[in-house]
Structure 1
Amino acid sequence: MNMKKVAVIGCGSIGQRHLRNVKNLFSEAVVCAIRSGSGNTSCPAAADRLIPLRELDSSFELAIVASPANFHVAHAKHCLNLNIPTLIEKPLAQDYTQGLHFVDSLNSSNKKLAAVAYCLRYLPSAQFMKQLIKQKQLGQIYNVNAEVGQYLPDWRPGTDYSQSVSARSDLAGGALNELSHELDYINWLFGVDEVLSASLRRSQELNTNVEEIVDTQIKLKNGAIGTVHLDFLQKRPHRKCTIIAEKARVEWDLIANSITQFTANGVTTLFDDCEYDKNHMYLNMINDFIAQKQNTASLNEGLEVLRIIQHIRERAQNV
C-alpha cells in the first residue's frame, strides 16, 4: 500500500524506531514527527518534517502514538477525531479508568481505526506458540510461568534512565506498564480469569518512584495457574515462558526466539530462529494494522491488560 503522509507522535527511542520503519516501508511518503514534550526542538533524522500537533489533519493516512503513556489517550483521540488510522504504543492508557473512558467514548467506526502495539505477538515463536495452544497439542495445561527482566540503566544507552518514561510515575512508568507485553501475551494465549495475589517492590539500587519488581499469581481461563515476574534489575536480559502440561513441559525463550519441549522420551526443539531480526516484528505489525487483518491487539484487548494491571495493584495493596 502506498502512503502519502504519516505522523509519529513522540520522538523517544520507540518513536524513532517507528519513524525509521515507516520511512523504510513507505519511502515515498512524507513522514512527520510530532514531539510530545517541549524540550528538544530538532527534527529527528528519520523524519522529513517536524510539525506541531495542531498541524495534524485528515490528509494523514496513518498515525502512530509513541508518546509517554499519560499522553496516549489525548493524542489518540486527536488522531481518531480526524479519522486517521492510529496505532497506539502500549499501554493503551496510563490506567484502566482512563482507558475505559477512552474506549467508551469512541464510536464503532473509530474503534476499528485503532489498535495497540503489542509487538511480541509478531515474534515468530509467539505465532508458533499460539498455534500450539490453539491446537491443544500439549493436552491439559497445569501451570504457566512468564518472566522478564532487564537492567533499566541499560535500556536506552546514552540517556539518563532516571529521567526516562520507565522510571517516572508522572509519565505512567513502572514495570507493570512498561513490561506489560507479558500480561498481553498470557491473556492472548490463555485468557486471564482472576488475579490471585501480587507483590510490587522497589530496589535500593535504582532510586525510582515506580514499581521495579512485580510478582503475581493469576488464574487462567483454562483453569491453569499462572505466575508472572517482571523486573528492571537483571543485568543480563531474560525473557522466558514455561508451560507445564499433560504431555510435556515447554520452555519458550523469547530472546532466543526458540521453543523446546521436554518429555519422558527426551528433549525436542519445536522452533528455533535465533537469527531473526526482531525489528521485523514492528514492520509486520504496521503492515498488519494497515491491511486491517485484525491480528494486532484491539482496543478491548489493550483495555483488558489495563484491567489486569489494576487488579494486580489492588491485590498488592491488600496484602
Structure 2
Amino acid sequence: MVRIGIAGIGYIAEEYIKLIVKQRITGCSLCAVSSRNLQHMETVRKKYGLEQTALFTDYQEMLDSGCIDAVLICTPHFFHIAMAEAALAAGVHVLIEKPAGVFTEEGERIVQSVKSHPELTAGVLYCRRTSKAYRRVQSMVASRDLGKIKRASWLLTNLYRTPAYYNAQEWKGTWKGEGGGLLLTQASHQLDVLVWLLGMPEELQAFCSYGVERQIEVENEAVIQMWYPGGATVQFIASARECPGTNRLEISGSRGQIILENDRHMIWRRLEQDEREYAESSREVYGTVPYTERTLEFDGAENTVQQAAIVNNFIRAVQGKEQILCPAEEALQSLQMINGAYLSSWRGEKIRFPIDATEYRKEWERHCG
C-alpha cells in the first residue's frame, strides 16, 4: 500500500480525494494533506471522513514526516517544479498536476533531479495518455499503419470557460498567477498528446489572442502551425470561448487517414496502396486511391476515468509493476512547445526548436512580469 500525500487543497486536489475515497484509485492510502489553509483542510477532512489523514501547513514538514511515500502536487503552476524538486530530495515519489511548470528553464531542473534519483518515480498528470482512443492512435502511428505522416490537424474549440471560471480564483487568467492561459492550462493535455503521437516539430508559428470576450490577461484563443522533420505539417486551433465547440483530430499518412471526434468516435480510412506508389504508377487524371473504411467507438473518455487511470498507473509504477505513462522528462517537451508558441506570438515570427530557455524567460518577464 503506497502512502500518498497531496499538496494543495483546491478544486483539483479534491477531485483526486473523491477518487481515492470511492476506491477508483487503489493501492494507496491518503495519509497526509498539505496547505497553508488549515481551516479548509479540516473542512475537507471532515467532509470525506479522513480522520486518520494528517494535516500539514508546511509542505516540507509533510515531506520530512516519514508518513508518505509519494506526493501529488496540486498547487498553482509556479510552485510545481520547486515542490517536485523538494519531494525528490526528501526521497518521495512525485506526480505533478499538469502542466509540468511554467518555464522550460525550470523544467530542465526537474529532469536533472530525476536523473539524480533513479530509485524514485516522477511523472506528470497528463491523463489523456490513458485514453483508449489516443492509445489506439499512438499504436497505429508507431506501427506505421498510416504510413509516412503527411499532415495532422486538431480543431479543439470545446474548452469553454465562462468569466465565473476565471473569477473563482484570483490567480486564474493572469500571467503572474498561471504563467499562461489556454495553451498552458486547458489545451496542454492535447499538446502533450500531440507530442506523444508525433514528436516535437522542428519549427512553429503561433497566433494567440488575449482576453477575447473575457476580462483576462492571458490568451483564450490560439492557432499554431507546425513543421515536422520529413515534411509533415500540423495545425492546432484552440478556443475557450466557443460553445458547444468541436474536438476533432485528423491524421493523414501515405497509407490512410484517422479522424477522431470527441475522444470517442474514430473513422479509419485505410488505403489499399501507398499513396506515393499509386501517384507514381496511376495514369488516371483524377484518380483516387481505393480504400476501406472502418468506424470504431471507444469508452473511457470521461475526465474522472482518465484521472483515476493516470494516478493508478503512477501507484503501480512506484510499486515497480508498470512503466509510468508520462514521465517528467517527456512532459518537458510539451512545455517547450507551449513556451515556443508564446515566444512566436509575441515576436510575430516563426521559431525553431529547441528554444533558448533563458531567452524565453526574459521575453516572458518583458511581456508579462
Q: Is contact 2:161-2:240 (8 Å) kept?
A: yes
- Aligned-residue offset at 1:304: 1.3
Cα distance between partner residues in 1 of 2:176 and 2:132 = 35
- The 3 A distance-change label for structure 1 pair 209 and 307 is same
- The 3 A distance-change label for structure 1 pair 306 and 51 is same
The percent identity for this pair of structures is: 19
Cα distance between partner residues in 2 of 1:304 and 1:181 = 12
**Alignment match, 2:328:** 299
Pair 1:316 & 2:316 matched: no
Pair 1:282 & 2:307 matched: yes
**Alignment match, 1:151:** 160
- Aligned-residue offset at 1:42: 4.2
Structure 1 unmatched ranges of 5 or more = none
- Aligned-residue offset at 1:26: 4.2
Cα distance between partner residues in 1 of 2:214 and 2:27 = 41
Q: Is contact 2:4-2:70 (8 Å) kept?
A: yes
Q: TM-score, normalised by structure 1?
A: 0.87
Instruction: Read off the aligned partner of 1:162 and give its amino acid letter.
Output: N
Q: How does 1:36-115 map to 2 (within 5 A)?
A: 40=40, 42-44=42-44, 45-46=47-48, 48=50, 49=53, 50-52=55-57, 53=59, 54-56=61-63, 57-109=65-117, 112-115=120-123
Pair 1:272 & 2:297 matched: yes
Q: How does 1:131-142 map to 2 (within 5 A)?
A: 131-142=139-150
- The 3 A distance-change label for structure 1 pair 190 and 256 is closer
- The 3 A distance-change label for structure 1 pair 186 and 37 is farther
- The 3 A distance-change label for structure 1 pair 64 and 36 is farther
**Alignment match, 1:232:** 240
- The 3 A distance-change label for structure 1 pair 318 and 21 is same
Structure 2 unmatched ranges of 5 or more = 271-289, 349-369
Worse overlay, 49-58 or 80-89: 49-58
SS at match of 2:18: helix
Pair 1:120 & 2:118 matched: no
Instruction: Read off the aligned partner of 2:167 and give its amino acid letter.
Output: S
Instruction: Read off the aligned partner of 1:16 and give its amino acid letter.
Output: E
Worse overlay, 189-198 or 83-92: 189-198
Q: Is contact 1:19-1:47 (8 Å) kept?
A: no
Aligned residue pairs: how many? 311
- The structure having more radius of gyration, on CA atoms, is 2
Q: Is contact 1:123-1:257 (8 Å) kept?
A: no
Q: TM-score, normalised by structure 2?
A: 0.76
The RMSD of aligned alpha carbons is 2.6
**Alignment match, 1:177:** 184
- The 3 A distance-change label for structure 1 pair 59 and 297 is same
